Amino acid sequence: MSTDLKNTIFSVNIFNTNTSQWERYTLKGLEPMPKAENLSVYELADYSSDFDKLYTTYIFTDTKTLNQWNNYRKAIGTPISITRAYCSVKHNKDLASKYPGQVAKYSQHMAGKAFDMVPYYGNITLEQMYKIALSYWTFVEPDYSSHVHGDARDPGSPYYPIVQYGSQNVYGATCQDALYYNGYLTLTDIDGIFGDITKNAVIKFQKDHNLTPDGIVGSQTWSALLPDT
């Protein structure tokens, strides 16, 4: 690993699902992750071991996800390693190009709501981790041959929810990241708050892609915004 993640400064953005407000921190990678137990900031970094690349220094997640992690980690009772957590749209696309058919277009990693986890030095098996995960994560990927995937998606849909003017949540940040990926926003516009700048960017994107230019990101706009995998 050429990137010193532990000493990198990260912009940590946590959406508090109880207060419906963003909580923001500037932290070194080695510092404890706020709202989380037994977790350092760098473990959630948008870093790819496949490409030895740190894609961004911002991290987005929410308290629902961190609470599910906390309860799961407590139930495990022993250290485990996170191989993938927050993942930008560009990172997800690069992984999909390398592993065709194995990366979800609507990945919960892009919303900061998913963790891929493996045993730490073999002190627990993947099968044991998987069975425990079923009781603590909203969704657990049934294939645990290489890692256990747990995420805190909204139950009932594999897709992303509608986001529009006034929305504040991790999916709003994902929408902004997708607009940035497509050239309609700048990196500094990604804050998880769907305001005028984001709405205008969505409308321009919709016009350019023959979609209804209403500024609302529903299923058709999400499908066009997110790169195929």
Residue 158 lies in a domain: no
Our count of domains for the chain comes to 2
Whether residue 118 sits in one domain with residue 29: yes
Residue 161 lies in a domain: no
Whether residue 193 sits in one domain with residue 108: no
Residue 37 lies in a domain: yes
Does position 1 have pLDDT exceeding 70, yes or no? Answer: no
Whether residue 147 sits in one domain with residue 180: no
Residue 125: count of CB within 10 angstroms of its CB:
11
Residue 179 lies in a domain: yes
Whether residue 199 sits in one domain with residue 146: no
Report residue 151's pLDDT band, with 50, 70 and 90 as the boundaries. Answer: very high
Residue 26 lies in a domain: yes
Whether residue 95 sits in one domain with residue 56: yes
Summarize pLDDT for 76-101 with one digit per residue, the tens: 999 999 999 999 999 999 999 999 98
Whether residue 141 sits in one domain with residue 48: yes
Residue 165 lies in a domain: no
Whether residue 175 sits in one domain with residue 125: no
pLDDT given for residue 100 in this prediction: 92
What spatial distance separates the first Cα and last Cα of the chain, rounded to whole Å?
Answer: 26
The β-bridge partners of 59 are 12
pTM of the model: 0.95
Residue 35 lies in a domain: yes
Residue 208 lies in a domain: yes
Give yes or no for a contact between 66 and 14, defined as CB atoms under 8 angstroms apart: yes
In the predicted model, what is the mean pLDDT of the chain? Answer: 96
CA pair distance 70, 106, nearest whole angstrom: 24
Structural domain that includes position 124? 5-151
Whether residue 50 sits in one domain with residue 12: yes
Least confident of 62-76, 113-127, 161-175, 183-197: 113-127
Could you give the percent of the chain with pLDDT greater than 70?
A: 99
Whether residue 142 sits in one domain with residue 78: yes
